[in-house]
Structure 1
Amino acid sequence: MASTQRTEPAREQRCMTGLRGDAWVGFLRAHSSVVKALDADLIARHGLPLSAYEVLLRLALSENGYLRMSELAQQALLSQSRISRLVDQLCRDGLIERRSCETDSRVVYAAITDAGRARLEQAEATHSAGVEGRFFERLSDADLARLAEIWDQILAPARD
């Protein structure tokens, strides 16, 4: 067992060197940098963290302006506990409301309010400008096409 413990870090170290390490660490840094900057912009200009913006956007884009909490968590890429805390805060702020399902008392929906739609509309230009300036403007159309292929390649097994 001791030999396994000694070889695991060595295997990890080999995996994260050279081109592989550059690609992996670059991905992590790029994601972190863009997300932190978007979050800071949205908070500074609209008092709305990126995660809250994403929740409001998902609700606004839904067919009727509401989603089951589990669907919302999945679409916003948040854990159940994180979505619950965020929905609590957005409800206190009057941007969304919780609704009960008429046919199943176990189901709870989150629904965007008029105030939520207004805040989302105000924040959209900030979000779009941030994504444009920190992502799209730095890549050519060929880069974007290749990146889309790469993401599809990475995510394909998760869809199966």
Structure 2
Amino acid sequence: MDLAHVSDAVTSTVKIEPGAMFMRITVETTVAAPIDQVWRAYTTPDDIVKWNAASDDWHTTKATVDLREGGIFSSRMEAKDGSMGFDFAGTYTKIVEHKLIEYAFGDRKAEVEFVPGSNGIVVRVVFDSEPTHSVEQQQGGWQAILDNFARYVEAKQKTS
């Protein structure tokens, strides 16, 4: 099991759309696994709590998913030392199985695309920035979570 492996198609872009309240940030990775395994790991609470962290000193302690348009999702992220934590929650606005998840969280939006590629499934997340943290911090955090996701799915596939 090679947990040090990082998928090879990592790109990040920042787009400012005219008239937009938020900058749109894009992060992506390629997961060397079948779409059903990728989709399941992205949408199943028991899996989410195992990969949803930007660094080793954070973890997700709880996740809920009602995967349907209008359904609610939430996850509780906490520092492992107990010093801080926050809830991340929203509402699914569009679901196309094995292809697309769109959701709103507060006054922001995000889209997650699952696209077959030559080396696996490209998972691309486009999200609205927030004003508290720099674009670089947000991009880095979301990319780190997505990279953890890819490593988790690939390691899980090797042990299945």
Which interval holds the TM-score relative to the shorter structure? under 0.3
Look at both structures and tell me which one has the larger radius of gyration over its CA atoms. 1
The TM-score with structure 2 as length reference comes to: 0.26
The TM-score with structure 1 as length reference comes to: 0.26
Which protein is richer in strand relative to its size? Answer: 2
